[in-house]
């Protein structure tokens, strides 16, 4: 199994991924250029670990787990990693730039994975030397609680890289599903149009925020309503995913204007304190 892993990007996905790796006693570096983001990530990880420990979901105590995580704002620390997981914001140009930087810093046998929710791995692989070591490793939010990881093979991914990532996922006590490299893969191809439709139902005045979520919780047994889930994921991320679906699959996937409006206003969900709900 890997003994040194790097996670790039200390947002809610990156910090959750670093946490679940550290919980399995693997040394992990959480790298972000922003010291503030690293500080917030550390607090979130501590809170999450304390909860999981109190509930006996993890056996290592939170301090032991935290000792497995190095928080760093220096990109160069990634150079000895056996696996780098990119978890920067869902923006193709940014991810291509980061992939290129990773490729010029690590050795040729480092596996490079992306936590992208929707962007083509085959295109990201084109940004690196030895593209056969690139694949998608897509965790779900909140990472410490959600069982699933989608593994996406780029056209270039070798069988051995794919196999190592499958084994790693199982080692993390997660389950995986495999998807072809198509916009949104499995989960977001199905989930995001549903969330987008919930926003249309709101925009058209058909029902209130509360009733839309209540309908899907009590009517379809969802653990949370689609609008609360959008707030948890981040409305900016939801919009980026819808745009990737629209670009790749056509106008059936056009983002709802109200979703675009909220993102433009900086109303991004839980992380900004205001989305469809207030926090
Ligand atoms: N770490 C540890 N504990 C956590 C936690 C975390 N990160 N997040 C929540 N919890 C705890 C809460 O503190 C709470 O603990 P207490 O019971 O002790 O208060 C417990 O989990 C349950 O939480 P809540 O009471 O707030 O609410 P809940 O029972 O509804 O569970 C949930 C929360 C697990 C998030 C559940 O609502 C759920 O499964 N929601 C759906 C999430 C989902 O669909 N995720 C996938 C999104 S798609 C995606 O991620 C892909 C993408 O690319 C966008």
Of 81, 150, 179, 196, the catalytic one is: 150
d(CA 123, CA 100): 12
Of 114, 115, 138, 179, the catalytic one is: 138
Q: Any idea of the CA torsion for 47, 50, 53, 58, to the nearest 10 degrees?
A: 40
C-alpha of residue 145 to centroid of ligand 1, in Å: 6
Q: Whose CA is nearest to atom 8 of ligand 1?
A: 142
50-63 confidence digits (pLDDT tens): 999 999 999 999 99
Catalytic residue flag (residue 27): no
55-102 confidence digits (pLDDT tens): 999 999 999 999 999 999 999 999 999 999 999 999 999 999 999 999
Catalytic residue flag (residue 188): yes
Task: Concatenate the DSSP letters of all residues of 194-213 into one string.
Answer: HHHHHHHHHHTTSS-HHHHH
233 CA closest ligand 1 atom index: 54
C-alpha of residue 226 to centroid of ligand 1, in Å: 13
Which residues, judged by CB distance below 6 Å to any ligand atom, belong to the binding site of ligand 1?
Answer: 48, 51-52, 117, 140-142, 144-146, 187-188, 191, 223-224, 229, 233, 237
Of 117, 118, 120, 179, the catalytic one is: 117
pTM comes to 0.95
Provide the pLDDT for residue 233. Answer: 96
Catalytic residue flag (residue 150): yes
d(CA 119, CA 29): 24
Q: Whose CA is nearest to atom 22 of ligand 1?
A: 145
Domains of the chain: 4-179 (3.40.50.720), 188-272 (1.10.1040.10)
* CB of 188 closer than 8 Å to CB of 177: no
Catalytic residue flag (residue 141): no
Provide the pLDDT for residue 1. Answer: 85
* CB of 188 closer than 8 Å to CB of 240: no
C-alpha of residue 261 to centroid of ligand 1, in Å: 27
Provide the pLDDT for residue 13. Answer: 96
Query: Low-confidence residues of the chain, pLDDT below 70?
Result: none
Provide the pLDDT for residue 223. Answer: 97
């Amino acid at each position: 199994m890997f003994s040194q892993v790097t996670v790039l990007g200390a947002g809610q996905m990156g910090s959750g991924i670093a946490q679940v790796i550290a919980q399995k006693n693997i040394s992990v570096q959480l790298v972000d250029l922003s010291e503030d983001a690293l500080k917030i990530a550390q607090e979130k990880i501590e809170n999450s670990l304390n909860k999981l420990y109190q509930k006996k979901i993890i056996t290592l105590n939170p301090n032991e787990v935290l000792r497995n995580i190095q928080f760093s704002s220096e990109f160069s620390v990634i150079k000895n990693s056996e696996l780098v997981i990119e978890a920067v914001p869902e923006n193709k140009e940014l991810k291509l730039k980061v992939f290129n930087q990773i490729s010029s810093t690590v050795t040729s046998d480092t596996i490079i994975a992306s936590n992208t929710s929707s962007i083509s791995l085959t295109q990201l692989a084109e940004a690196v030397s030895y593209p056969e070591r690139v694949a998608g490793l897509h965790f779900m939010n909140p990472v410490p609680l959600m069982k699933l990881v989608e593994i996406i093979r780029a056209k270039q991914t070798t069988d051995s890289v794919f196999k190592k990532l499958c084994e790693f996922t199982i080692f993390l006590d997660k389950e995986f599903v495999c998807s072809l490299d198509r916009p949104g893969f499995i989960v977001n191809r199905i989930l995001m149009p549903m969330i987008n439709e919930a926003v249309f139902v709101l925009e058209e005045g058909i029902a209130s925020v509360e009733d839309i979520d209540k309908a899907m919780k009590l009517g379809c047994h969802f653990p949370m309503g689609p609008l609360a889930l959008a707030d948890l994921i981040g409305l900016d991320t939801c919009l980026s995913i819808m745009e990737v679906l629209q670009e790749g699959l056509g106008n059936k996937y056009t983002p709802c204007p109200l979703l675009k409006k909220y993102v433009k206003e900086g109303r991004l969900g839980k992380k900004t304190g205001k989305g469809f709900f207030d926090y």
